[in-house]
Amino acid sequence: MMSQALGGGFADAPVQSARAFRTALDAMARPGRILRVGGAKPPAPLSVAAGVLLLTLCDRTTPLHLAPGHDAPEIRDWVTFHTGAPLVTPGAAAFALGRWEALQPVTRFRIGQPDYPDRSATLIVELDELTNEGAVLTGPGIETVARLSLPELSAFHLNRDIFPLGYDTFLTSRDKIAGLPRSTRVEAG
Amino acid sequence: MSVERPFSQEILARRRWMGLAARSGPDRLRELLPDLPAHELLRTPEIGAVMVQGRAGGTGTPFNLGEMTVTRCSVRLASGEVGHAHVQGRDRDHARRAAILDALMQTDAAPDLEGKVLSPLAQEEAARRASRAARAATTRVEFFTLVRGEDQ
Amino acid sequence: MYVAVKGGERAIDNAHAWLAEVRRGDRDVPELTVAQIREQMTLAVNRVMAEGSLYDPDLAALAIKQARGDLIEAIFLVRAYRTTLPRLGSSAPVETGAMAVTRRISATFKDLPGGQILGPTFDYTHRLIDFALAAEGADAAEPAMPAVDKVEEVPHVMEFLNKDGLIQSELQEGAQVPDLTREPMELPASRPLRLQALARSDEGFLLSLAYSTQRGYGRTHAFVGELRIGTVAVEMEVPELGFPVEIGEIELTECETVNQFTGSKTEPAQFTRGYGLVLGQSERKAISMSLVDRALRWRELGEDFSGAPAQDEEFVLMHADNIQATGFLEHIKLPHYVDFQAELELIRKLRRETEPSDLAAEEQP
């Protein structure tokens, strides 16, 4: 294992991961709200925000899929050392990480079962820019409407149609995260 | 990531010193290795649990027996060597010291540490085990089946 | 229906303060240290580790101190603590055949390789109260020790029967090891899941169930093939290293029973096995566990279900955990005012509906 893969974890894991977990919860509870996180220094091209989410949400019991572009040795080693998450194919993943194009087709990811809708995947989608512009979001956790720079609309329409099944999505860019749970309705802006 | 088996001499040697450090008492390791070189914490000492497995019938299908407390730590020395430790119990200082020892054993200091730290630990452990085995041997018993009177 | 109550904050604080005071007891008597409990109450510590399902003697000793010696309360504390720990991994299965034994006996084989080692046992004591212990500082003298150059491994006794094909052999199957601390228990349970549940279950419950099989409720004709107590190394594969390392040593008690088996539709006549493995030194529990394990195996061995409690997987596994049991049992002492009010209303209503003349007759003797 390469030595540089071993740095960049939380310096104070209990406190930092608790804070980051709270932020991730807030992001999912308030779809479209952009929040900032910090504390991780993951290897490129992983963003700080995606790194923080991995450190906070992944462990040995959460299989992770790294999409092409993020499936590099440095990232594999970093994830293995800091989280222990097994690296798997899309159909077996509890979490999937990559750019939107690299994650396609997203229909490969688990959407849960009618009696266990929670047995589904959470996607972490890396974007160049994450802003409150573009698609219009409505639904639980949004008082009126929110706007978010989504990479695409049709996939999220399909995902909303199969509610309560479906995947949940975090969008990340540099130190910014936003949540897009399966319950959110998405329209063109 | 997994290395080929059977293990190379290097890995066997590393398994030995990591095992000795993990099984040593925290206080004893501190006595034998009081001074720590400058190091960076790659993974701060973290207390957690490891699930211990047994096998049905001693040799059959594995099952989860229960957990044990374990503290882990990873460090990097100024000279670049990386050391890891997983040690039984909840002593953060023990895990950090064991990780530093693992890193130092990859440097030129290894022969010196072998004499000052590892040999004493190995000898004390062997003595402890021999003493317990000797104690057990004092309670070894031969059972005789007695023939009952009416059967004679 | 659950309805919250509020109030009594000061009373609760005062109750906690009093609890701390009675825990300490008479201040003229020296306070117990955790090390004293760990070293001198070892079997209590072992029980808390086994049923708390967490091997850590210092922690178990502290829990016993905090719980005023109530072991189930101490187990509860340990269980609560373990939920706060991140899972760092899973060990390789421990090699009990390589155990450094302090005790090793067989009720079936008189002359076994490695010998019968009694260890520090109560078995041959007279169970007479030793009043000499009431005096402090009466240390036992050490016996003369033979020199031991090499610590030898003692092989499992059952392997001898296995060589002759007289006993059912243990197969290694199942890739995924089920873990009831991660996934809710589903019935019917596989043997690995049953063994995990039994290993952390209440010693008293297991003892009674095992005793019931001896008295005829699901009889399995058990003999202790081998009982051993000692330490084993725990080894774990470390992902960042790519190879396994020893992370410590733990004490275990292992019991293997040999059970008579006259054969079934699918199996020839041979001996079968029951298995018990417990964290720490706890032979009563290990023997009980192996009897109950064997009783629960009726289905896979093609035996009949006789309706005995120890054969009933749901009855055994769903009631064996003393923390679940005590949680549900003790909650009925907590405020249920609204529930009770509803029941009271119901009783009054039923009485009103009864003929008034009947009531009048009852009330006037």
Q: What is the pLDDT of residues C273-316, one digit of tens each?
A: 999 999 999 999 999 999 999 999 999 888 889 999 999 999 99
Specify burial of residue B54 (Cβ count, 10 A radius: 0-12, 13-18, 19+).
buried
Our CA-based measurement puts residue A137 at a distance from the nearest CA of chain C, in whole angstroms, of 35
Window from A1-5, A49-53, C37-41 with minimum mean pLDDT: A1-5
pLDDT tens, residue by residue, B103-143: 999 999 999 999 999 999 999 999 999 999 999 989 988 77
C-contacting residues of A 20-79, CB under 8 Å? 59-61
Residues of A in contact with C239 (CB under 8 A): 80-81, 84
Do β-strands B62-77 and C54-55 pair in parallel, antiparallel, or remain unpaired? parallel
Cβ within 8 Å, pair B74-A82? no
The pLDDT of residue C137: 67
The pLDDT of residue B4: 77
Q: What is the pTM of this model?
A: 0.89
Q: Flag whether pLDDT at B100 surpasses 70.
A: yes
Nearest beta carbon to residue C148 from set B53, B54, B133: B133
> Where residue C270 falls among pLDDT bands split at 50, 70, 90?
confident
Cβ within 8 Å, pair A61-C240? no
Does C242 contact chain A (CB < 8 Å)?
A: yes
Q: Flag whether pLDDT at C327 surpasses 90.
A: yes
- In chain B, whose CA is at the least distance from the CA of C154? B133
pLDDT tens, residue by residue, A96-140: 999 999 999 999 999 999 999 999 999 999 999 999 999 999 999
Q: What is the average pLDDT value for chain C, to the nearest integer?
A: 89
Our CA-based measurement puts residue C320 at a distance from the nearest CA of chain A, in whole angstroms, of 27
Q: What is the ipTM of this complex?
A: 0.93
Instruction: Give the integer Cα–Cα distance in Å for C62 and C57.
Output: 9
Task: Report which of residues C266 and C128 the model is more confident about.
Answer: C128
Residues of C in contact with A84 (CB under 8 A): 88-89, 239
Q: Which of A1, A2, A4, A6 to mutate against chain B (most B CBs within 10 Å)?
A: A6
Domain ranges of chain B: 9-111+121-127
Q: Considering just the CA atoms, what is the radius of gyration of chain B in Å?
A: 21
Question: Could you give all domains of chain A from N- to C-terminal order, each with its CATH number?
Answer: 3-187 (3.40.50.11310)
Q: What is the DSSP string of B6-54?
A: SPPHHHHHHHHHHHHHHHS-HHHHHHHS-----EEEEEEEEEEEEEEEE
Query: How many residue pairs from chains B and C have C-beta atoms closer than 8 A?
Result: 246
At A77, the amino acid letter reads: D
- In chain A, whose CA is at the least distance from the CA of C237? A84
Q: And the tokens for B27?
A: 């206080």
Nearest beta carbon to residue B76 from set A3, A10, A82: A3
The pLDDT of residue B1: 54
Our CA-based measurement puts residue C45 at a distance from the nearest CA of chain A, in whole angstroms, of 29
The pLDDT of residue C143: 66
Instruction: Give the integer Cα–Cα distance in Å for A56 and A37.
Output: 11
> Where residue C348 falls among pLDDT bands split at 50, 70, 90?
very high
Instruction: Give the integer Cα–Cα distance in Å for C365 and C357.
Output: 13
The pLDDT of residue B152: 46
Cβ atoms C242, C213 nearer than 8 A: no
The contacts of residue C305 (CB under 8 Å, 6+ apart) are: C298, C299, C311, C312
Cβ within 8 Å, pair A61-C89? no
The pLDDT of residue C171: 74
Q: And the tokens for C21?
A: 């005071």
> Where residue B6 falls among pLDDT bands split at 50, 70, 90?
confident
